[in-house]
Amino acid sequence: MQEKQLGNRNSYSKTDPDATFMRMKEDHMLNGQLKPGYNWQISTENQYILGYTIHQTANDTNTLQSHMESLKENLGQLPGILIADAGYGSVENYEYLEKNNVETFVKYQYFHKEQSNKWKADPYRTDNLPYDQDSDSYTCPMGKKINFVQEKVRITDNGFRLLNRIYQAQNCGRCPVRESCNKSRGNRRIEINPRLNYYKSIIKKQLCSERGIKYRRQRPADVEAVFGMIKGNRNYRRFLLRGLEKVEIEAGLLSLAHNLGKLANKN
Ligand code: SF4
């Protein structure tokens, strides 16, 4: 019975079995407590809510595809452009967006950090190791080869198959720069996802283009501002109802009220 209630989650609340324990940004006790909640996703345009979905996972990455499918169902088509933060950047999401011809301005993890001089100048970072396609190997800071050793398959929560490639250096034991280069006990191993690297090279160009910079500036003023209005201005900080179905209705009413309020203020 409990396992059925849990589904593929790793927790649920006894007071609301549909709610999942999540680490909330808002924490009255300031001690990082986990609290039962729902992950409310919205899509906005000019601060109007175009669609919303409620999820039982704290992981934003896993919510993107079902959220987009819900938008498609409601709007009759997918949006032509998607702008989102790094919490949504993953191989499976990039692939989904590419297949569905959605122009993508979705950041990936470390997008901002990798622009810094410190990151670019760090010779030990995997991203900065020179790659040779002919020998399918990387070259380490001491000029030695880091060769391909095996593939590693991981299945994501959405059932997507991630294929990573593992490369391993040799004789790191007496290397004079070992402390800076290799935190593990053995030889340095690096894990590469070629599909992610492929998408990152495309997305980086998109995000750094004139439009990309404009969209990146717009994003917080659009979607984050909507959450700000609901949570801050209206002081709506928790769902009043319990259970997934009721929370979905409550989120729908809130979205409707938000849109009507904006429309009324416009006129
Ligand atoms: S620790 Fe290993 S991988 Fe790193 S520089 Fe030295 S030999 Fe190369």
Q: Are residues 98 and 163 in the same domain?
A: no
Q: Are residues 56 and 150 in the same domain?
A: no
Q: Are residues 89 and 207 in the same domain?
A: yes
Each residue's pLDDT tens digit, 93-122: 999 999 999 999 999 999 999 999 999 999
Q: Which alpha helices (DSSP H) does the chain contain, by range?
A: 2-6, 64-75, 91-99, 117-121, 178-181, 194-208, 210-219, 225-228, 244-266
267 pLDDT tier (thresholds 50, 70, 90): low
- Looking at the chain, the whole-number percentage of residues with pLDDT higher than 90 is 83
CATH number at residue 38: 3.30.420
Residue 242 exposed, middle or buried by CB count within 10 Å (0-12, 13-18, 19+):
middle
126, 98 in Cβ contact below 8 A? no
Instruction: Give the bridge partners for 34, in sequence order.
Output: 23
Q: What is the pLDDT of residue 23?
A: 86
Mean pLDDT along residues 161-173: 95
The answer, yes or no, to whether any atom of ligand 1 lies below 6 A from the CB of 178, is yes
SS3 label, residue 246:
helix
Mean pLDDT along residues 166-171: 96
9 pLDDT higher than 90: no
Q: What is the pLDDT of residue 101?
A: 97
Q: Are residues 56 and 182 in the same domain?
A: no
Instruction: State the chain's mean pLDDT as an integer.
Output: 93
Q: Could you say which of 146, 171, 192 is where a domain stops?
A: 192
27 pLDDT higher than 70: no
The answer, yes or no, to whether any atom of ligand 1 lies below 6 A from the CB of 182, is yes
Q: Could you say which of 143, 170, 192 is where a domain stops?
A: 192
Q: Could you say which of 192, 217, 247 is where a domain stops?
A: 192
Residue 198 within any structural domain of the chain:
no
Residue 119 within any structural domain of the chain:
no
Instruction: Give 30 Cα–ligand 1 centroid separation in angstroms.
Output: 42
Q: What is the pLDDT of residue 37?
A: 93
Element (H or E) spanning 50, and its range?
strand 48-55
Number of domains in the chain: 2
Residue 260 within any structural domain of the chain:
yes
Q: Are residues 38 and 96 in the same domain?
A: yes
Residue 57 within any structural domain of the chain:
yes
Kindly list the strands in the beta sheet with 189-192, ordered across the sheet, starting from the edge strand earlier in the chain.
131-132, 137-139, 145-155, 161-168, 189-192
Mean pLDDT along residues 164-174: 95
Q: Are residues 82 and 212 in the same domain?
A: yes
Ligand 1 atom showing the smallest separation from residue 141 Cα: 5
Residue 118 within any structural domain of the chain:
no
List the domain range (segments joined by +) for residue 143: 126-192
Instruction: Give 202 Cα–ligand 1 centroid separation in angstroms.
Output: 30
Q: Are residues 171 and 216 in the same domain?
A: no
What tokens does 36 get? 């039962």
Q: Are residues 49 and 131 in the same domain?
A: no
Strands 131-132 and 48-55: unpaired
257 pLDDT tier (thresholds 50, 70, 90): very high
